[in-house]
Structures are given as C-alpha cells and as structure tokens.
Amino acid sequence: MSNAVYELLTLDNVVFKEYLFWSAVLILKMLIMSPMTGFHRFRTQTFANPEDLLSKKLKVKFDDPHVERVRRAHRNDLENILPFFAIGFFYVLINPSVFLACNLFRLFAIARIVHTFVYAVVVIPQPARFLAFGAGLLPSLYMGLQVLLATF
C-alpha cells in the first residue's frame, strides 16, 4: 500500500476517525438488538426452541408481534448497516470532503437509530419509519456513487 493510503487510514484523518466512531456506535446498536429480542421473548413467554421453554405448560411459538417486530428491525439493520461498513470504508479511501463525509456518516447512523426507535421501541405510524429508512439509504447511495465515479 502506498503512503497516501496509510495516511488516510490513521486517526489523524478526521474522516477515518469519524467513520470509526459512527461504525462503533452502529455495532453497539446492533448488539443491543439481540438482548432486546430476548427481553420480548421472556416478557411474552414466546420461545422458538423447546429447550428454552420455562415451563412444561408453554409451547414453542413463532408469531408474537413484539418479538417479530424487533427481529424485523434487526434484520433491517443487517441489510443496511453491513453495506454501510463497506461503502463507508471505500468512501474514506477516495479522500472526500471532511465536512460532507462526517455529516454523511452522522446522518446514516442517526437515521438507523431513529429507524429502530420508531420501528421496535416506540412504534410510530408511517411515514416515520420510511423517512428514517430513506435518511439512511441516501447517504449510502451517495457514497457508493462517489466511489464508483472516483474509480471509473
């Protein structure tokens, strides 16, 4: 790797530092989703495996709306946050504007947090979830397009 690439991937590079910070925030946010699912499973006594049943009177269930809502929000995170890690890293490598890059990372992360909040914590009717989803999708699409243009 050239020295220029090494310089981009240091904590002296504000864009890379911001990318790392917001990536860590998003990783922690995704890690919280599993215990949130577990919380709802115990609260509603909805268990997907026979060995998890707390009583012989309980039966395996897959259809509790609270559990499934959190699971869908978690799946949506996986479908959106994991690609952000890749495209955000590639975006750092094209040495973008500090102001723009930092705000794109912030917008994406905050949008994903809001998306989870309005989808799985305090359910708010549409278009709240759609707006949060779109606010996260647009930065990823923009960064992807910029990476393509920079490498074309």
What is the per-residue DSSP string for 91-119? HHHT---HHHHHHHHHHHHHHHHHHHIII
Mean pLDDT of the residues in the chain: 93
Domain contains 53? yes
Q: Which residue has the tokens 């992807």?
A: 144
- Indicate the burial class of 109 (C-beta count within 10 angstroms; 0-12, 13-18, 19 or more): buried
Is 8 part of a structural domain of the chain? Answer: no
2-16 pLDDT, tens digit per residue, is: 678 888 999 999 999
Number of domains into which the chain is organized: 1
In CATH, what number is assigned to the domain containing residue 77? 1.20.120.550
Give per-residue pLDDT as tens, 103-136.
999 999 999 999 999 999 999 999 999 999 999 9
CB 40 within 8 A of CB 46: yes
* pLDDT bucket at 1, cuts 50 / 70 / 90: low
Domain coverage including residue 137: 19-151
In this prediction the pTM is 0.91
- On whether residue 10 sits in a domain, the answer given is no
Q: How far is CA 47 from CA 53, 78, 92, in A?
A: 6, 22, 42
Average pLDDT over residues 38-48: 84
Task: Collect all residues with Cβ–Cβ distance below 8 Å to 83 and sequence separation of at least 6.
Answer: 140
22-26, 32-36, 50-54, 100-104: which has the minimum mean pLDDT? 50-54
Single out the residue of 16, 152, 4, 140 nearest to residue 84, CA to CA: 140
